[in-house]
């Protein structure tokens, strides 16, 4: 654990001039308060007050006083900016002036869910496959979505600038102490994937938050725009955030999902956790696929799920159980395939965990896997399988009916989240699209 004195020594050693204090709003947007390094000791010891009245979902004006309390374990030097005057970053908890955790802080929501898991004897680890697009920008900084930055396809070896950009991104992530497993070009032109290494869930969510800022920064400095929008064009595939998950014994760190005697390598706990996620999948979608645009990806883009099923090898399934040898049973995990990278990583992880733990508590029975691609089956068979919501509005309806997922968010965040997303969905339905103009304006 990093101490205050260690951080102060690092600030002095690296000539740090500024501290960026990060936190997120309910939607997962990074917010920041910058303080001069001369105030570091006071901030580390007491936190810093700020006005939360204008932050999405935080507070009414009468309740606006908030305190940012840095998590010392998140201290890192930002590998960009003025070389002669460095900036360091700390991710903060949001508290009330009375020192209580603020119930509208998404990071606190995840910590609460992790505490519930710990009380049951478990810790959660996750690994994230982060997909995104890079588009070239013009002199004004506007990005050109119709012009791909590269023409590499799935796993192509390219000699263009995209390879160099991805390598610079990994170098930047490593400088931020974010371990990367691998990177490669994705299916769409200009689309890429970076796989963040497995880590304890809170650290993994912090890494996801930081990576989105880092990748956008690297891209901008290379004259590119990096977007985590789920489906930026009808002519392009969608970008997902496949999330690998496993529960571990809180004392021994043993993977409690693993059982090599089972046909699918899953223990009873693993099967119950999986059953819980399938049971709550439709309600989770409102958090894991949180945009109107998210539903342009699900079920329509390559390997984006639409059916609430699980499997070993069927990549159309919502949850996949990757094959594991007996020698690697500690890597037994579940791959949830509906999240996309626009989601708030803290809320997304919290609802995934809550759904799985509910399956364990209630000893839910796991349905049989469906290995075959359901899209190739008869319409009658497809109708027998539950489907994910096909719109944000339908996902919000499902969320409103699910007490477990609402409970994971807490009444404060769930009320504000539903209100904001209902408005977003309503606004989108009022929009007259180019497709409508092209189809109807001259025909009628």
Using the structure block, give the residue that is written with the tokens 């349905």.
367
Distance between CA atoms of 338 and 300, rounded to whole angstroms? 12
- On whether the pTM is more than 0.75, the answer is yes
Same domain for 126 and 33? no
Same domain for 62 and 131? no
The confidence band for 84, taking pLDDT boundaries of 50, 70 and 90, is confident
Residue 168 counted as domain residue: yes
Q: What are 95's strand-pairing partners?
A: 67, 101
pLDDT value at residue 316: 81
Residue 271 counted as domain residue: yes
Residue 418 counted as domain residue: yes
Same domain for 53 and 151? no
The confidence band for 382, taking pLDDT boundaries of 50, 70 and 90, is low
Query: What's the token pair of residue 173?
Result: 């992530």
Do residues 186 and 154 make contact, with C-beta atoms less than 8 angstroms apart? yes
Same domain for 94 and 117? no
Same domain for 326 and 398? yes
- Which of 24-28, 76-80, 312-316 bottoms out in mean pLDDT, i.e. has the lowest? 312-316
Can you say whether residue 363 is alpha, beta or left, with left for phi > 0 and alpha for psi between -120 and 50 degrees?
A: left
Residue 444 counted as domain residue: no
Checking if the pLDDT of 301 tops 90, the result is no
Distance between CA atoms of 7 and 175, rounded to whole angstroms? 17
The confidence band for 184, taking pLDDT boundaries of 50, 70 and 90, is confident
What is the percent of the chain with per-residue pLDDT over 90, rounded to a whole number? 70
pLDDT value at residue 249: 97
pLDDT, mean over the chain: 90
State the residue range of the domain holding 87. Answer: 4-102
* Residue after which a domain boundary falls, among 45, 73, 102: 102
pLDDT value at residue 144: 75
Tally of domains in the chain: 2
Checking if the pLDDT of 381 tops 70, the result is no
The confidence band for 383, taking pLDDT boundaries of 50, 70 and 90, is low
Nearest to residue 226, comparing CAs of 217, 218, 236, 216? 216
Distance between CA atoms of 162 and 184, rounded to whole angstroms? 10
Residue 228 counted as domain residue: yes
The confidence band for 257, taking pLDDT boundaries of 50, 70 and 90, is very high
Checking if the pLDDT of 154 tops 90, the result is no
The confidence band for 380, taking pLDDT boundaries of 50, 70 and 90, is low
Same domain for 425 and 334? yes
Do residues 102 and 346 make contact, with C-beta atoms less than 8 angstroms apart? no
Same domain for 78 and 214? no
Residue 441 counted as domain residue: no
Same domain for 118 and 41? no
Same domain for 116 and 137? yes
175 CB-contact burial (10 Å; exposed 0-12 / middle 13-18 / buried 19+):
middle
Report, as an integer, the average pLDDT of 216-222.
94
What's the CATH code of the domain at 86?
3.10.20.70
Residue 196 counted as domain residue: yes
Residue 440 counted as domain residue: no
Report, as an integer, the average pLDDT of 237-263.
94
What's the CATH code of the domain at 405?
3.30.590.10
Checking if the pLDDT of 338 tops 80, the result is yes
Checking if the pLDDT of 186 tops 90, the result is no
Do residues 189 and 152 make contact, with C-beta atoms less than 8 angstroms apart? yes
- pLDDT tens for 16-68 read 999 999 999 999 999 999 999 999 999 999 999 988 777 776 666 445 788 99
Distance between CA atoms of 57 and 24, rounded to whole angstroms? 11
Report, as an integer, the average pLDDT of 353-366.
98
pLDDT value at residue 87: 96
Nearest to residue 58, comparing CAs of 111, 6, 95? 95
Nearest to residue 413, comparing CAs of 201, 116, 113, 102? 102
Same domain for 260 and 153? yes
Same domain for 76 and 148? no
pLDDT value at residue 233: 87
Nearest to residue 22, comparing CAs of 226, 211, 241, 224? 211
- Three-class HEC string of the chain: CCCHHHHHHHHHHCCEEEEEEEEECCCCCEEEEEEEHHHHHHHHHHCEEEECCCCCCCCCHHHCEEEEEECHHHCEECCCCCCCCEEEEEEEEEECCCCCECCCCHHHHHHHHHHHHHHCCEEEEEEEEEEEEEEEECCCCCECCCCCCCCCCCCCCCCCHHHHHHHHHHHHHHHCCCCEEEEEECCCCCEEEEEEEEEEHHHHHHHHHHHHHHHHHHHHHCCEEEECCCCCCCCCCCCCCCEEEEEEECCCCCECCECCCCCCCECHHHHHHHHHHHHCHHHHHHHHCCCHHHHHCCCCCCCCCCEEEEECCCCCEEEECCCCCHHHHHHCCEEECCCCCCCCHHHHHHHHHHHHHHHHHCCCCCCCCCCCCHHHCCHHHHCCCCECCCCHHHHHHHHHCCHHHHHHHHHHHHHHHHHHHHHHHHHHHHCCCHHHHHHHCCCC
The confidence band for 329, taking pLDDT boundaries of 50, 70 and 90, is confident
Same domain for 132 and 221? yes
Checking if the pLDDT of 379 tops 70, the result is no
* Residue after which a domain boundary falls, among 39, 70, 102: 102
- pLDDT tens for 99-153 read 999 999 999 999 999 999 999 999 999 999 999 999 888 877 777 776 666 655 5
Report, as an integer, the average pLDDT of 91-100.
93
* Residue after which a domain boundary falls, among 53, 68, 102: 102
Checking if the pLDDT of 160 tops 70, the result is no
């Amino acid at each position: 654990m990093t101490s205050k004195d260690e951080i102060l020594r690092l600030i002095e050693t690296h000539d740090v001039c500024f501290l960026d204090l990060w936190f997120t709003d309910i939607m997962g947007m990074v917010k920041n308060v910058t303080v001069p390094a001369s105030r570091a000791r006071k901030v580390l010891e007491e936190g810093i007050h700020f006005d939360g009245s204008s932050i999405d979902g935080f507070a009414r004006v009468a309740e606006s006083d908030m305190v940012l309390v840095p998590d010392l374990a998140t201290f890192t030097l930002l590998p960009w900016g003025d070389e002669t005057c460095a900036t360091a970053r700390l991710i903060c908890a949001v508290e009330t002036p009375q020192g209580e955790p603020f119930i509208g802080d998404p990071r606190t929501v995840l910590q609460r869910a992790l505490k519930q898991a710990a009380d049951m004897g478990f810790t959660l680890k996750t690994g994230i496959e982060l997909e995104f697009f890079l588009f070239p920008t013009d002199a004004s900084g506007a990005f050109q979505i119709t012009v791909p930055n590269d023409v590499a396809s799935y796993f192509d070896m390219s000699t263009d600038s995209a390879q160099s950009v991805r390598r610079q991104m990994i170098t930047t992530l490593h400088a931020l102490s974010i371990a990367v497993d691998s990177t490669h070009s994705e299916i769409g032109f200009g689309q890429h994937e970076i796989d963040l290494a497995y880590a304890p869930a809170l650290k993994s969510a912090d890494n996801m938050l930081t990576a989105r800022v880092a990748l956008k920064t690297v891209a901008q400095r290379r004259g590119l725009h990096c977007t985590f929008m789920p489906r930026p064009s009808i002519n392009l595939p969608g970008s997902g955030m496949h999330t690998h998950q496993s529960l571990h014994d809180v004392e021994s760190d043993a993977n409690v999902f693993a059982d090599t005697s089972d046909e699918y390598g899953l223990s009873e706990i693993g099967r119950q956790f999986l059953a819980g996620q399938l049971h709550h999948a439709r309600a989770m979608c409102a958090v894991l696929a949180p945009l109107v645009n998210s539903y342009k990806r699900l079920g329509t883009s390559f390997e984006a799920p639409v059916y609430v099923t699980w499997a070993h090898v069927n990549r159309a399934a919502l949850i996949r159980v990757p094959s594991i040898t007996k020698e690697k049973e500690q890597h037994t995990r579940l791959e949830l395939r509906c999240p996309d990278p626009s989601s708030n990583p803290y809320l997304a992880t919290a609802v995934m965990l809550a759904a799985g733990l509910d399956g364990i508590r209630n000893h839910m029975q796991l349905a049989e896997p469906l290995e075959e691609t359901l899209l190739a089956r008869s319409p009658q068979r497809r109708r027998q399988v539950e489907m994910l919501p096909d719109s944000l509005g339908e996902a919000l309806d499902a969320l409103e009916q699910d007490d477990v997922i609402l409970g994971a968010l807490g009444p404060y965040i769930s009320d504000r989240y539903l209100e904001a997303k209902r408005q977003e969905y309503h606004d989108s339905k009022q929009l007259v699209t180019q497709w409508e103009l092209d189809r109807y304006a001259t025909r009628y």
